[in-house]
Structure 1
Amino acid sequence: MNYIESFVDFLKENEKSDNTIGSYVRDVEQFLTFYGKDIKDVTKNDVEGFKKHLNNKEMTIKTINRKLVSMKQFLDFLNEHFKLGLTVKVKPEKQHRQDYLEEMLEKQDFEKMVEAAVRNNDIRAKAVFYTLLKTGMRVSEMLQLTTSDIEKQSITIKGKGSKYRDIFVPVSLRTVWAEYIPHRVKTSEKLFTGQRGPINRHTVHHMIKKYAEIAGVSEVRAHAHNFRHLYCKMLIENGYSIDTVADLAGHSDINTTRIYTRKTRSELVAAVNDL
Structure 2
Amino acid sequence: MTARIDEFLAMLAAERGAAANTLSAYRRDLEHAGEVVGDLAGADRNDLARLGQAWSGLSPSTVARKASALRQFYGFLVDEGVRTDDPSAALPRPATRRPLPKILGHAQVEALLTRAEQETADGKPHTARMLALLEMLYGSGLRATELVSLPLSAVPRDAPFLTVTGKGGQARMVPVSQRAQAALAKWIAVRPEGRFLFPSRGGKHLSRVRLFQLLKELAVRAGLPPEKVSPHVLRHAFATHLLEGGADLRVLQTLLGHADIATTQIYTHVDSARLVALVNERHPLARAREAG
Deviations 1:122-150 (A, max 9, x none): 11101100011111111221221415615
Say which of 119, 128, 152 aligns to 1:146.
Answer: 152
| Residue 131 of structure 1: aligned partner | 136
Provide the rounded CA distance (Å) in 2 between the counterparts of 1:212 and 1:118.
13
- Correspondences of 1:1-275 after superposition (within 5 Å): 66=59, 101=100, 103-121=102-120, 122-142=127-147, 143-146=149-152, 149-151=155-157, 152-184=159-191, 186-194=192-200, 197=203, 198-263=205-270
Select the structure of larger CA radius of gyration. 1
Unaligned runs of 5+ in 1: 1-11, 17-63, 74-89, 268-275
Question: Identity, % of aligned pairs?
Answer: 25
Code of the residue aligned with 1:177 in structure 2: it is L
Deviations 1:240-265 (A, max 9, x none): 1111111111111111111111128x
Contact 2:150–2:198 (Cα < 8 Å) also in 1: no
Would you say how many aligned residue pairs link Structure 1 and Structure 2? 193
Contact 2:137–2:143 (Cα < 8 Å) also in 1: yes
Unaligned runs of 5+ in 2: 1-27, 33-56, 67-91, 121-126, 274-292
Structure 2 length as normaliser, TM-score?
0.54
Contact 2:212–2:231 (Cα < 8 Å) also in 1: yes
Q: Would you tell me which structure has more helix in proportion to its own residues?
A: 2
**1:172 offset after TM fit, Å?**
2.7
Deviations 1:12-56 (A, max 9, x none): 99655xxxxxxxxxxxxxxxxxxxxxxxxxxxxxxxxxxxxxxxx
**1:66 offset after TM fit, Å?**
3.7
**1:114 offset after TM fit, Å?**
2.5
Structure 1 length as normaliser, TM-score?
0.57
Change (3 A) 1:220 1:148: closer
Change (3 A) 1:91 1:176: closer
**1:193 offset after TM fit, Å?**
2.7
Partner SS state of residue 186, structure 2: helix
| Residue 19 of structure 1: aligned partner | none
Runs of 4+ in 1 over 6 A off after TM superposition: none
RMSD: 3.9
Query: Looking at both structures, which has the greater relative contact order when contacts are Cα pairs under 8 Å and sequence separation is at least 6?
Result: 1
**1:219 offset after TM fit, Å?**
2.9
